[in-house]
C-alpha cells in the first residue's frame, strides 16, 4: 500500500465510480459479490494491482473490468473511466425476445387503473372490440 503498487479493493471500486460510497463497495466485497481474478473476495481490504480482472454485478448488469491504474482520488467521470478497461459484454437490447416486456406502461402519477380501464385493457390485449 505504501509502495503504490496495490490499493484496497473497496477504495478502487469507489475511485472508479462503480459504487456511490466506499461503504457500499465494502459491503459488496464482504458479501462475496466481487470476484478478483476469478476468486471470490471476502474482505474489502483485499488488494488490487494493475492488470487484475474484477467481476461484479451492479443492478441487472454484470461488469468485468481490467484494472489499468490504481488512482489516488475519486475524481470526475473521465478520470475514473481511465482507471479500467471494460471487458463486459454489451448490455442486451430492449427488442431482445428473451427480455420480458413491461407489464403495463402508464404515465407517471396516473395511479392504478380503474376497473373499467382494466377491463378495456383486457379487451385490447385479447383483440376484442
pLDDT digits (tens, 9 = 90+) for 5-27: 899 999 999 999 999 999 999 99
* Residue 126 three-state SS: helix
Distance CA 94, CA 101 (A): 8
- Mean pLDDT for the stretch of residues 32-44: 91
The per-residue pLDDT for 81 is 93
The per-residue pLDDT for 24 is 93
Radius of gyration of the chain (CA): 22
HSE at residue 96, side-chain half, CA atoms within 13 A, is 8
C-beta separation of 54 from 38 below 8 A: no
Beta bridge mates, 7: 48
CA angle 85, 86, 87 (to 5 degrees): 110
Q: Looking at the predicted structure, is the pLDDT value of residue 98 above 90?
A: no
The highest-level CATH class for domain 7-86 is: alpha beta
Note the pTM of the prediction, 2 decimals.
0.69
Dihedral of alpha carbons 77, 80, 85, 87, sign: negative
Could you tell me what percent of the chain has a pLDDT over 70? 84
Give the chain's mean pLDDT: 86
Cell of 66: 481490467
Which of 56, 59, 60 is closest to 13 using CA atoms?
56
Amino acid at each position: 500500500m505504501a509502495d503504490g503498487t496495490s490499493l484496497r479493493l473497496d477504495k478502487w471500486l469507489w475511485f472508479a465510480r462503480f459504487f456511490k460510497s466506499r461503504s457500499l463497495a465494502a459491503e459488496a466485497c464482504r458479501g462475496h459479490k466481487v470476484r478478483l481474478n476469478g476468486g471470490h473476495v471476502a474482505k474489502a481490504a483485499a488488494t488490487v494491482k494493475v492488470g487484475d480482472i474484477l467481476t461484479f454485478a451492479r443492478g441487472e448488469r454484470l461488469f468485468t473490468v481490467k484494472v489499468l491504474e490504481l488512482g489516488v482520488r475519486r475524481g470526475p467521470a473521465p478520470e475514473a473511466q481511465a482507471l479500467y478497461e471494460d471487458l463486459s459484454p454489451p448490455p442486451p437490447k430492449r427488442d431482445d425476445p428473451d427480455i420480458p416486456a413491461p407489464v403495463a406502461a402508464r404515465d407517471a402519477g396516473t395511479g392504478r387503473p380503474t376497473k373499467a380501464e382494466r377491463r378495456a385493457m383486457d379487451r385490447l390485449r385479447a383483440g376484442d372490440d
